[in-house]
Structures are given as structure tokens and as C-alpha cells.
Amino acid sequence: MRWPSESPAGIVDKTTELVTVDLLPTFLELAGVTFPDNYKPDGVSILSAIKGKAFKRDKPIYWDWRFSNNRTDFWPSAGIQEANWKLLTNSELGRTELYNINSDWSEQMDLSNKHPEKVKELLNKIKTFEETLPTAPAENCFSKERANLFLRKE
């Protein structure tokens, strides 16, 4: 990041988690604009981190992988990161793994057997999150050509 007089030069931030859903809240804060009253963003503004100040995420990060891929090593269908915990799961495969990313950033030690209460808590949060997701794209969110490909219409 380069922003003279706003972002400190030469600093490498290895602790701030940034996901795409954080961009909109960050850009709106930069512009001095607020969300409409009825809009609840999934992300958070990371402006404080950009300015070299302390940043503490107050919302979990969720992942939802609904589309197939050909990678045999990529098994999760959903995930959540909250504080120092990251949980990956796939209910169809009956596989769930839990990591403490503060002490195991490379996710080598599955702690799901040692922390079943944390697994249950995070699985419940994923379930609640998934209930908010659309089951199909809105018809007007794609061009007609792309909708035909995505929705497999002829």
C-alpha cells in the first residue's frame, strides 16, 4: 500500500486478514459514505490497518465453495475463520478440520478432536451463514448469454 502521509512507508503487515468483502466497507469509509440503514455488509473496513494502526476483526470470515473442481486435494465445501480459529468442513464427505492459525498458520495440526465444543460452535455459525445465501442467482445478475451457460438453459 502506498499512500503518502496516510499509510506508513516500509511496514509489512502480516496480521491483518483481508477478504474481498472487506473492500466495499473500506472504500465507503475512505469516501466518508455510510451504508443504507437496512444494509448489513459481510465485510469490515480495514482502514485502520491501512493507516498503520491496530486492527481487530469483529466479524468472522466465511467461505462457501458450491462449485465442483478437479482438484482431489481440495475437499472443503465451507469454512469459517474467527479470531485464531479456522474450521474447514464438508458434510457430504463427513470431514471437518479445526486449526489454531495463530500457532499453526500452515494448518498442519487438526485440533478438531481436542476441541469438539469449538467445532460445534463454528459449524453452527456456518449453518446460520449458509441459511442467508441465495439458492440460485437472480435472473438479472448475468447477461442473457452468461445466464444460459450458468443456468444451463438452451
pLDDT in tens, 9-56: 988 887 888 899 999 999 999 999 999 999 989 999 999 999 999 898
Supply the pTM of this predicted model: 0.78
121 vs 105, which has greater pLDDT?
A: 121
- What is the rounded distance in angstroms from the CA atom of residue 136 to the CA atom of residue 149? 14
pLDDT score of 109 more than 90:
yes
Q: Give the model's confidence band at 154: pLDDT under 50 very low, under 70 low, under 90 confident, else very high.
A: very low
- What is the rounded distance in angstroms from the CA atom of residue 19 to the CA atom of residue 56? 14
* Predicted confidence (pLDDT) per residue in 58-90, tens digit: 999 999 887 666 777 788 999 999 999 999 999
- What is the rounded distance in angstroms from the CA atom of residue 117 to the CA atom of residue 91? 17
- What is the rounded distance in angstroms from the CA atom of residue 154 to the CA atom of residue 143? 14
Taking CA atoms, 99 is separated from 76, 87, 114, 116, in Å, by 14, 6, 11, 12
Given a contact cutoff of 8 angstroms between Cβ atoms, the answer to whether 101 and 110 are in contact is no
Instruction: Output the pLDDT for position 151.
Output: 59
* Domain boundaries defined on the chain: 1-57, 61-130
Instruction: Output the pLDDT for position 132.
Output: 87
Please report which residue ranges of 9-46 form alpha helices under DSSP H.
23-31
CATH of domain 61-130: 3.30.1120.10
